[in-house]
Amino acid sequence: MPQTSQWPLPPDSVRYVVPDPILALLAAHPLASDLYPLAFGHYRKAVGHHMHRRQHRDDLLIYCTDGRAYFSVEGEPFTVSAGDLVLLPAGAEHRYTADPEAPWSIHWVHYTGPKTRDFQHHMGFSDRVRVRSLGLQPRLLVDFNGLLSVRQTGFRTSGLVNASNRLRQLLTAVPMLADDTDDHRQLDLDLIHGFMRERLNERISLDQLAELGGLSSAHFATRYRHLTGESPIQHFLHLKVEQACQWLDTTSLSLTEISHRLGYEDNYYFSRLFKKVMGQSPRDYRDSRRH
């Protein structure tokens, strides 16, 4: 059986749990065996809703449409608000608690099958990305409500096979909805470039920049390249080289000193990066500017 909450249902809420005999049929059915729902529902204004699972056996997808809840997954805390889609994968210890002042409303589905990991990656979730901020999406609500329509078919296998394929439709739609959302979310390039300039003496990562932009690393890199024509790390390197050129032009600092100031212990490595950008070595650049 799925590890669903036994929390008392609020008004206008639904919890549907697929019986074990039907689950056995779905697990063996050629049209459902690779991905099928275990339980699904809709909680409205879920006051007092909380859960702690140490050994989570199935995947749980939650779409928040109102209010807030506070999460901890594998010890990492975060807040979920309206428009957020959360995936709690099998095996991940987690806690969540509805905000007492603004309890969340959610659609949710527990599911399993050999393809769950493939769908996790397809939707853009990972150990580093637990939440996709999609906004309020009518398409997603239609797909969640499509699962609930199975209540009208009883526990007939045909109805549950249909629900399995509605679940597949829901999961495959997520990246398209995320792409549409990302297209309308502008990166604050001034903020990102200011962050880079303040850290020219460091080695920053794509993950750091993506977190600043509020996107997954992959989506941030794609969005940044779309806006600027280059990768974010490439731009950061160009800023370092630009600063190196200024020091080569205006100071007597050695290449070793410049390399160290820009976060590189190996001045030969930085020299190669410089030449790749400028077409000549730092020494040749300095000599050409002085003669």
CB 51 within 8 Å of CB 106? no
Residue among 51, 43, 40, 36 nearest 12 (CA):
43
Tell me, yes or no, if the pTM score tops 0.75.
no
- Rounded to a whole number of angstroms, the CA Rg of the chain reads 25
77: left (phi over 0), alpha (psi -120 to 50) or beta: beta
What number of CA atoms fall less than 13 Å from residue 79's CA on the CB side? 8
Tokens of 182: 């990302």
Query: According to the model, what pLDDT value does residue 139 have?
Result: 83
* Rounded Cα distance, 149 and 163, in Å: 8
Share of the chain above pLDDT 90, in %: 54
* CB proximity list for 181: less than 8 A, separation 6 or greater: 133, 134, 135
Query: According to the model, what pLDDT value does residue 184 have?
Result: 46
Query: According to the model, what pLDDT value does residue 8 have?
Result: 79
List the domains of the chain with CATH numbers: 14-183 (2.60.120.280), 186-291 (1.10.10.60)
